[in-house]
Amino acid sequence: MFKLIKFIFPPLLAGLGIAFIIIWFNPELRDNLPKLEAPHIQAHHMSFADAVEKTAPAVVTIFSEGFSNQPRYQRQSTVRELGSGVIMSRDGYILTNYHVVNNADQIIVLLPDGRQYSDTQLIGFDTITDLALLKIPAENLPVIPIDHDYSPRVGDVVLAIGNPLNIGQTITQGIISATGKQTLTESQFNNLLQMDAAINVGNSGGAVVNSNGALVGITSAQFRTRLNIDIQGISFAIPYDLAMDVMHKLIMDGRVIRGYLGFRGTPVDNTGKSVTDLYTPIVGLAVSELDPLGPAWQAGMKEHDIVVKVGGEPVTNPQRTLKTIGNTAPGTKLEFEVLRGGQRLTITVEVAELETGLY
């Protein structure tokens, strides 16, 4: 065996040496040799870049300015409020918070592409939802994406887009932790989304979008201001369907006309106990804070009545019921089915108009 190896090895080495010399002095042969490559590893990472790319151009900065009471030639403008806004149409309709533009002498809108509009028109506002509708003289604007089939759910990932502290457009990320929040509002006609995305001064009126870039709601930081404390991890937004409903009414009438009955309703279960969780079935609204001059009292409704049907529809979703009442035109007669002392009664109420300050 050793003799066989000794006989074969020298010619093999000589052949390898000749092949090396030929390949070394012939680059075209060297380039055709098979190349050993490290295996390709595809990187998988989570990114919201596509959602931001679709939505960020439609979120603007809003400066609410006021003028001093000095003579005209000495007047100086000062920024009273800093906020954000969301472009809702290509022809310049913008939603923002009412408290951002309240008492403004001039409203300036700054687009992400650098365009600035100082001749902004205030179309109307709604103090109940803290929404205001603006109009700028522009065309072919980027519009926030809307998904009419989307319904916000607890656990959805959301992005808040705005201009906090005037440091420039910023994206923060969070999760929806609650829906239908009314405990921080003064009206049952308003309901909020609660989330933990970081919100600061200047975010008010900005966009909250989901991971696909569809509008979830309009940021509202008024509750942070109202409570006057530094809140960590709790922020709120006005749901997009409510915001769009308000916008359409402001465009049509310049104000929001709501039906008014004159009582508050607390969700209850089939035993009459208040429902405070998301899992117990709701069978009605317990009447409280009955306005002695309101339509419900005048029609014969009493404290502690339990409303189980409104207009023939069962009360299983308080937000939907209150929306039905709010969207009922004043002067309309609405039929209520109530439980009182174990008896089922039918009461017809003529809906009045909700006036500012009655909520």
Question: Where in the sequence numbering do the catalytic residues fall?
Answer: 99, 130, 204
β partners of residue 326: none
Please tell me the distance from the alpha carbon of residue 326 to that of residue 150, in angstroms, as a whole number.
23
**Cα(221)–Cα(160) distance, integer angstroms:** 12
Q: How many residues does the chain have?
A: 359
Q: Which residues contact 137 (CB under 8 A, 6 or more apart)?
A: 92, 117, 119
* 3-state SS, residue 54: helix
Instruction: Name residues whose C-beta falls within 8 Å of residue 110's C-beta, 6 or more positions apart in sequence.
Output: 60, 61, 62, 63, 116, 117
What are the φ/ψ torsions at residue 241 (nearest 5 degrees)?
A: -70, -35
* CA gap 276, 211 in Å, rounded: 29
